[in-house]
Amino acid sequence: MSELAFFIDYARCIGCQACVQACEECDTHRGRSLIHLEAVGRSEGPQTVPQVCMHCENPICARVCPADAIKQTSDGVTQSALKPRCIGCGNCVQACPFGVPKYEVAIDQMMKCDYCYDRTSAGKRPMCATVCPSQALSFITREEFDRTRRGVAVNTFRFGREIVRTKVYVVLPAGTERLDVRVTPGPAAGAVGSDDVARLLEEVEADGR
Amino acid sequence: MADERPVAGPRARHRHEEDFPIEWERDHYVTRREFAKFLTLGSGLLAAANVLMAIVGRLWRPAAPVAARIGRSADVPPGGSMLFRYPTPEDPCIVLREGTGELRAYSQICTHLSCAVVHRPDRDELFCPCHRGSFSTTEGRPTAGPPTRRLPRIRLEERGGEIFAVGVEA
């Protein structure tokens, strides 16, 4: 049996918010949910996707931190910001290709998913994976994944010219080796969808005039 | 692809990556709590060592130095002085006789910076020429200049025209 690994199957997400609630229950950051549950194409369908920290092999959040506050443990888990060091600059929030770090205004600190380190380092499953009813978030062995799932587990991503390898896997259709993410220069240059809240607000404002 | 730039993988480490490593194990970070603990325990240890030294100093005393003959009474006339070594040949001392005829003896080592003091009978003092410190001849207390502690006094006895040193008062 190989060791337990984290698999995200976006297609299985039913948007029940159980992971968001469970994340809040974690003792290391009680009351603050660090998982992201994003709606995809809100105007077209109910699809949601959960996003936990992918725990990059070479964490860009830690590399851009000017205060040396983000550390990676030897088991490949990128920890949340060290409280006495984090200066709340938000560099990591900008840098993370997965949009994981959260800047908490009230405490002027960054907080991010830390793989439920208190639990996973003791052989338990992360909070979100224990509650996910459809197992879109699952913490299982490779053998169990192969036995129960279709599709392939991929941990290589390409953002523009950057190749990122992660500890956490995402489930993609069979035959995929890498997830290529198109990087647009910025919101001003790219076309925004009709579900873009900022654009909708702009339209409302324009109509009101 | 040629334009791909893998972020992960072995590569040369920059200087700042050596100084500020991302790896948890290689990061030597002293928290405020650890530092406060170190300060508290360190000063506690120093205080305990002080108490221990005080107790040891109180309980353990060096053996009383044996009496030693230092000269004849006639060698030290009133207003005169003589040098001798007591209790060991490493300890220079000075004996002087006051106008009243009383003998006094002190360590010759100035308590300021260990220069040798000399007797000045005209001003009735022991004078240290290094920094113009002076001590009274009656008690050895500092009267002027930088010294703050008195000179160790040597107890003397006169027996049949001979002077003997019999002890040191710290």
Mean pLDDT throughout A107-132? 93
**CB-based burial of residue B95 (10 Å sphere; 0-12 exposed, 13-18 middle, 19+ buried)?**
buried
Shortest distance between the Cα of B46 and any Cα of chain A, in A, equals 30
Q: Which of A152, A150, A128 is nearest to A139 (CA)?
A: A128
Beta-carbon separation of A62 and B8 below 8 A: no
Q: What is the pLDDT of residue B17?
A: 82
Domain ranges of chain A: 5-208
| pLDDT, tens only, A137-187 | 999 999 999 999 989 999 999 988 889 999 999 999 988 889 988 876 655
Architecture of domain A5-208: 2-Layer Sandwich (3.30)
pLDDT surpassing 70 at residue A1: no
Q: Which residue of A has its CA nearest to B32?
A: A84
**Number of neighbours of residue B163 by Cβ within 10 angstroms:** 23
Q: Distance of CA A13 to CAs A7, A18, A37, A54, A199, Å?
A: 12, 11, 9, 17, 27
**CB-based burial of residue A143 (10 Å sphere; 0-12 exposed, 13-18 middle, 19+ buried)?**
exposed
pLDDT surpassing 70 at residue B16: yes
Q: What is the pLDDT of residue B94?
A: 94
Beta-carbon separation of A161 and B5 below 8 A: yes
**Number of neighbours of residue A126 by Cβ within 10 angstroms:** 27
CATH 3.30.2420.10 fits B68-169, yes or no: no
Q: What is the pLDDT of residue A41?
A: 83
Q: What is the pLDDT of residue B42?
A: 97
Shortest distance between the Cα of B53 and any Cα of chain A, in A, equals 40
Cβ-Cβ contacts under 8 Å, A56 against chain B: 7-8
Cβ-Cβ contacts under 8 Å, A55 against chain B: none
Q: What is the pLDDT of residue B8?
A: 47
Shortest distance between the Cα of B21 and any Cα of chain A, in A, equals 8
CA B81 to chain centre: 26
Beta-carbon separation of A74 and B3 below 8 A: no
DSSP secondary structure string, B17-37? Answer: HHHS-SBTTT-----HHHHHH
- Selected residue with higher pLDDT from B20 and B43: B43
Residues contacting residue A121 through CB under 8 Å, at least 6 positions apart = A75
Look-up: residue for tokens 């690994």?
Answer: A5
Mean pLDDT throughout B45-64? 90
Chain A contact present for B89, CB below 8 A: no
Cβ-Cβ contacts under 8 Å, A73 against chain B: 23-25
Beta-carbon separation of B5 and A163 below 8 A: yes
**Number of neighbours of residue A209 by Cβ within 10 angstroms:** 4
Cβ contact B114:B130 at 8 Å: no
Q: Which residue of B has its CA nearest to A70?
A: B22
Q: Which of A170, A171, A159, A38 is nearest to A97 (CA)?
A: A159
Look-up: residue for tokens 């008062």?
Answer: B169
Domain ranges of chain B: 15-59, 68-169
Cβ contact A65:A44 at 8 Å: no
Residues contacting residue B28 through CB under 8 Å, at least 6 positions apart = none
Q: What is the pLDDT of residue A157?
A: 94
- The whole-model pTM stands at 0.59
Among A58, A62, A71, select the one facing B8 at the smallest CB separation. A58
DSSP secondary structure string, A137-158? Answer: EEEE-HHHHHHH--SEEEEEEE
Under the banding of pLDDT at 50, 70 and 90, the label for residue B79 is confident
Rounded-to-integer distance, Cα B74 and Cα B51, Å: 48
Within 16-75 of B, beta carbons closer than 8 Å to A belong to: 20, 22-25, 27, 29, 31-32
**CB-based burial of residue A130 (10 Å sphere; 0-12 exposed, 13-18 middle, 19+ buried)?**
middle
| % of chain A exceeding 90 in pLDDT | 68
Cβ-Cβ contacts under 8 Å, B31 against chain A: 84
Mean pLDDT throughout B60-86? 85
Q: What is the pLDDT of residue A191?
A: 57
| pLDDT, tens only, B24-51 | 888 877 778 889 999 999 999 999 999 9
Q: What is the pLDDT of residue A44?
A: 86
Mean pLDDT throughout A131-138? 95
| pLDDT, tens only, B92-150 | 999 999 888 889 999 999 999 999 999 998 888 999 999 999 999 998 999 999 999 99
SS3 for B159? Answer: strand
Q: Distance of CA B146 to CAs B105, B110, B119, B129, B137, Å?
A: 21, 10, 18, 11, 17
Rounded-to-integer distance, Cα B113 and Cα B93, Å: 16
CA quadruple A151, A183, A41, A98: dihedral sign: positive
What are the helix (H) ranges across A5-150?
Answer: 18-24, 60-64, 91-95, 117-120, 127-131, 142-148
Beta-carbon separation of B23 and A71 below 8 A: yes
Beta-carbon separation of B4 and A63 below 8 A: no
Q: What is the pLDDT of residue B2?
A: 44
